Copies of this chain bind each other. A is one copy, B any other.
Amino acid sequence: MSSKEEPAGAVAERQNLGSRSQRKQLTRDALLEAALRLMKEGRGFTGLSLREVTREAGVVPTAFYRHFRDMDELGLALVEECGMTLRRLLRETRRAGVPLFTDMIRRSVLVYKRYVEDNRLQFLFISSERDGGSPVIREAIRREVAHFTNEMAQDLRSLNAFPGLSMATLEMICGLVVNGMLSTAADILDLPPRRPELDQELVEDSVRRLRVIFLGALQWREKPAAAKQPLP
């Protein structure tokens, strides 16, 4: 074992081999992952220091500047990465086909829960910084989320799940769903470890909430354009 304890193994793979640009990309990723790893359990991204991140990544502080101008820029990169993660979730779900029959909602929720647990750190990041944190990062996350709900709306549309609903209404519904699921993600994240009954309760609650939304969506009637004429 080396005399200087290695931080987290992220450096081990970065040691040798690879062309220069490849290695650069490698330490860049190490920085991103270090940031994510550091906010595991508690601290928001805003509370991280540059030095801390480089330390966790196993790199000298000044090396940071070879990759990002400041922490905000690293944050933006994280947003992008997490956006791709979310997008991937949607795409895979889409590909898996949509069993529109009974229990479809519960299945989706279970898939989602699994996905959140598999990508803890990314969801932790977006949950933390969606409302708090630096304005520029918050803005970026909003855009990403909006993009995501937009794609989801188009999916619902092409599935003809809610015929008679305009695209705008579909987006509104999806906004409701996404918002709910993001806050659910936060709940999933600090779920105590070995309590399967709590897990189940959370899932069932989530299912119920989604059911309400979809019930409402089915019942929705588009407004007659304007409130000019008093009675239909």
Residues of B within 8 A of A135 (CB): 41-42, 190
Say whether B134 contacts A127, CB under 8 Å: no
Q: How far is the CA of A220 from the CA of B210 in the complex (A)?
A: 12
Tell me if A117 is interfacial: C-beta within 8 Å of chain B.
Answer: no
Measured CA separation A41–B138 after assembly (Å): 12
Shortest CB-to-CB span from A69 to chain B, Å, is 18
Given A131-B186, A132-B131, A212:B176 Cβ within 8 A: yes
A44, A133, A172 — most chain B CB neighbours (10 Å): A44
The reply to whether the CB of A216 lies closer than 8 angstroms to some CB of chain B is yes
A139-169, CB < 8 A from B: 169
- A215 in complex: contacting residue of B41, B183, B205, B216, CB < 8 Å: B216
Bin the interface of chain A by size.
35 or more
Task: Give A218's nearest chain B residue, CB to CB.
Answer: B219
Closest beta carbon of chain B to A214's beta carbon, Å: 7
Q: Smallest distance from the beta carbon of A166 to chain B beta carbons, Å?
A: 11
Whether A209 lies near B172 (C-beta < 8 A) is yes
**A120 CB, min distance to chain B CBs, angstroms:** 14
Q: Which among A42, A213, A216 has the greatest number of chain B C-beta atoms within 10 A?
A: A216
Q: Is the CB of B132 within 8 A of A176?
A: no
A171 closest partner in B (C-beta): B205
- Tell me which residues across on chain B come within 8 A of A205, comparing CB atoms: 172, 175
What residues of chain B lie closer than 8 Å to A216, measured between beta carbons? 211-217, 219
Verify if A108 is at the interface (C-beta below 8 Å from B).
no
Nearest 9 interchain pairs by C-beta: A216-B216, A128-B132, A212-B216, A44-B132, A215-B216, A132-B132, A46-B47, A127-B131, A215-B219
A-to-B contact residues, CB < 8 Å: 41-47, 127-135, 138, 169, 172-173, 175-176, 179-180, 183, 186, 190, 205, 208-209, 211-220
Starting from the known contacts A47-B47, A215-B220, 8 additional A-B residue pairs (CB-CB under 8 Å) come to A42-B135, A43-B133, A129-B132, A131-B186, A132-B133, A173-B212, A180-B180, A214-B216
26 A-B interface contacts by CB (under 8 A): A42-B133, A43-B133, A44-B44, A44-B46, A44-B47, A44-B132, A44-B133, A46-B46, A46-B47, A129-B132, A130-B131, A130-B186, A131-B132, A131-B186, A172-B212, A176-B212, A179-B180, A180-B180, A211-B216, A211-B220, A212-B216, A213-B213, A215-B219, A216-B216, A216-B219, A218-B219
